[in-house]
Amino acid sequence: MLFPDGAHLSAMASTAYRIPPYPAVDRFDEVSLRPDFCILVSPANLSGDDFSISPELQVDGDTLPTLLIQTQDDSNHINSSLFYFHALK
């Protein structure tokens, strides 16, 4: 299963929904891309090198309600969950 990579993609979708992926061509491009919520299971690559989240993740007051699922023994990805949790908080 590719939970870590899918979780990173979900985190990007939950924070970058305001950035249009292409120039608007019709009225359907005016529909909001904002999801209702986000579930991240064992996310990877969400943390930067300086004890913070990656710079491409712009967490603010409008960031989606997020459920983080992480096991304590997943030492490869636990910092991603911890730093993202702190940013959300």
Q: How far is CA 69 from CA 3, 50, 61, in A?
A: 10, 23, 21
The per-residue pLDDT for range 9-62, each reduced to its tens digit, is 888 888 988 888 889 999 999 888 888 999 998 888 888 777 788 888 989 988
Looking at residue 1, what is its pLDDT? 40
Residue 8: in which H helix or E strand, if any?
Answer: helix 3-15
Indicate the domain borders of the chain.
3-17+34-88
- Amino acid residing at 75: S
Looking at residue 79, what is its pLDDT? 85
- Cross-strand partners of 47: 53
Looking at residue 85, what is its pLDDT? 92
